Amino acid sequence: MALHLIGSPDEPELMFLPWETPLDSWPEQHLVHLPRGISRHVVRFTRLNNRIYAVKEVGTYLAEHEYQLLRRLEKLDVPCVHPVGIVTGRVSVTGEELEPALVTEHLQFSLPYRALFSTTLRPNTANRLLDALTALLVRLHLSGFAWKDCSLSNTLFRRDAGAFAAHLVDAETGELHDELSTGQRENDVEVAFLNIYGELLDLQAGGLLHEGIDPEHTADAVLRRYHRLWAELSSAVVIDRTERYKVEEKVRTLNELGFDVGEFQVVAEPDGSHVRVQPKVVDAGHHSRRLLRLTGLDVQENQARRLLNDLDTYRASLGIATEDEQIAAHRWVTEVFEPVVRQVPKALRGKLEPAEIFHEVLEHRWFLSEAAGKDVGSLPAARSYVSEVLAHKPDEQAVLGEATGALPVRADD
């Protein structure tokens, strides 16, 4: 049986990994030890040149199904891991056939839930993780994707300007449709509750969960958050002819949540004096798309929101608020963003993404300015941040901080 790599990998050396060896017996020299979630399959990480890949042994049908699904989700701009290829035709040195391997690119700067829901959980972290998972599930449903196995284990989290962004990792049980029915969505939500509840009970049994976290209440919070967000995205606005501003308010509300409205459906009400305006096409990534269009920076949604706010502040401080937006954005990138990022020495660039570093520099600048009673400026703040904060963070993941209290689940949850 000949060895085949199905896909379009950028790294030809993938073919020369020890595919004749079962994944759980790969030599240490080929492995990179990174935090990983629980999986029903054997998963290992390997580094080739400057890239890290996740390798998962899985049956032929599931490998091909997941590879194609991830490719389609990427084209829909859904946050997920990048599929690299499938290795088939694996045979051991004794002639035994081995399972195919699905290869995906490791999501840099990401963490599995077990590295986050732990005794080091700090106040408000749980809320941000639940919000990120909820937003991911909504985005998947808007794209017509029925996950069927929504869980913390199948999700990776990246820091996103003080919040988190969730990315789908495991899609082997999923299905992609033109549109999901209410029943399909509700089934996903119920599965999410059961999986998250079980995962938190597992952490609790292992003594890895903060004592202030109630597994059932936390899992149930995802259901409530999902229904609130979905209702906001799908609810109609009933107006008369003098209340057109309400439509603008609806658009602004959705934009603030990070979604764009592609079109509206307008239907006359039976009374003849009112119309019902219903959002028809809602796409996630409002702020990240706008920042990419203006600056070429491709970042997470909350990072984009923070950078756009700084861009607006920059324009106002120089009195160029009325200047062409793209020209002002170019000046901001060259005069503000890039000089700050350049303060990070090469040895420290693997710790956080540039956009996340810029966000943290803004936070650090605020604290320094408060202490000094005046604005200390971006570059001094960046130099201080690099030496006092960034230098002490471990590569690829920042320390979340020590827990100082019970789980900060909001009162309305």
For residue 262, is it within any domain?
yes
Residue pair 262/289 in contact by the 8 Å Cβ criterion:
no
Question: 244: how many CB neighbours lie within 10 A of its CB?
Answer: 11
Give domain status of residue 362, yes or no: yes
The tokens describing 337, both together, are 């963003």
Asked whether 160 and 146 are in contact (CB, 8 A), the reply is: no
Q: Are residues 194 and 124 in the same domain?
A: yes
Residue 223 CB neighbours (<10 A): 16
Q: Which CATH number does the domain housing residue 199 bear?
A: 1.10.510.10
Q: How much is the pLDDT for 334?
A: 92
Collapsed DSSP state (helix, strand, coil) of residue 373: coil
Pairwise pLDDT comparison (410 vs 26), residue with the higher score? 26
* Last residue within a domain, chosen from 198, 233, 268: 233
Looking at residue 411, its pLDDT comes to 36
Reported in sequence order, the residue ranges of 211-323 that DSSP labels E, i.e. its strands, are 237-240, 259-268, 274-284
Q: Could you say which of 261, 284, 307 is where a domain stops? A: 284
| Higher pLDDT, residue 398 or 32 | 32
Q: Which residue has the higher pLDDT, 215 or 281?
A: 215
User: For the chain, what percentages of helix, strand and coil (3-state, to nearest 5) are there?
Assistant: 45, 20, 35
- Prediction pTM value: 0.76
- Asked if residue 413 is part of any domain, the answer here is no
Q: Residue 112: count other Cβ atoms within 10 Å of its Cβ.
A: 20
Say if residue 167 is in the same domain as residue 242: no
Instruction: Looking at the structure, tell me whether residues 161 and 98 fall in a common domain.
Output: no
At 98-140, the pLDDT tens digits run 999 999 999 888 888 877 766 555 536 777 888 889 999 999 9
Residues 141 and 82: their CA atoms lie apart, in Å, by 19
pLDDT of 404 = 29
Determine, yes or no, domain membership for 209. Answer: yes
Both 126 and 220 in a single domain?
Answer: yes
Q: In angstroms, rounded to a whole number, what is the distance separating the alpha carbons of residues 265 and 369?
A: 49
Question: Residue 153 sits in which domain range?
Answer: 111-233
Q: Give the end of a domain, one of 106, 129, 146.
A: 106
Q: What is the pLDDT of residues 326-336, one digit of tens each?
A: 888 888 999 99
Judge if 143 and 49 occupy the same domain: no
Question: Tens digits of per-residue pLDDT, 306-344?
Answer: 899 888 888 887 776 656 788 888 889 999 999 999 999
Q: Tell whether 207 and 130 lie within a shared domain.
A: yes
| Cα angle: 91, vertex 92, 93; to 5 degrees | 125
Domain assignment present for 405: no
What's the confidence (pLDDT) of residue 9? 67
* 322, 362: one domain: yes
Q: For position 25, which CATH number holds?
A: 3.30.200.120
Helix (H, G, I), strand (E, B) or coil at 56: strand
Residues of the chain above pLDDT 90, percent: 41
* Count of domains for the chain: 4
Give the mean pLDDT of the chain.
Answer: 84
Same domain, 228 and 242: no
What would the mean pLDDT of 366-392 be, rounded to a whole number? 91
- Residue 235 makes CB contacts below 8 A (sequence gap 6+) with none
Q: Is residue 399 included in any domain, yes or no?
A: no
- 130 is written with which tokens? 């639940």
Residues 213 and 323 placed together within one structural domain of the fold = no
Q: Would residue 29 count as lying in a domain?
A: yes
The answer to whether 43 touches 55, Cβ cutoff 8 Å, is yes
- Please tell me the distance from the alpha carbon of residue 247 to that of residue 75, in angstroms, as a whole number: 30
> Do 265 and 228 reside in the same domain of the chain?
no
Residue type at position 229: L
Q: Are 89 and 63 in contact (CB under 8 A)?
A: no
The residue type found at 183 is G
Together in a domain, 38 and 62: yes
pLDDT over 70, % of the chain: 89
Residue type, 11: E
- Tell me what the mean pLDDT of segment 388-404 comes to: 58
pLDDT for the residue numbered 406: 31
Asked if 118 and 229 sit in the same domain, the reply is yes
Classify residue 22: in a domain, yes or no: yes
The predicted structure's pLDDT at residue 333 = 93
CB 53 within 8 A of CB 14: yes
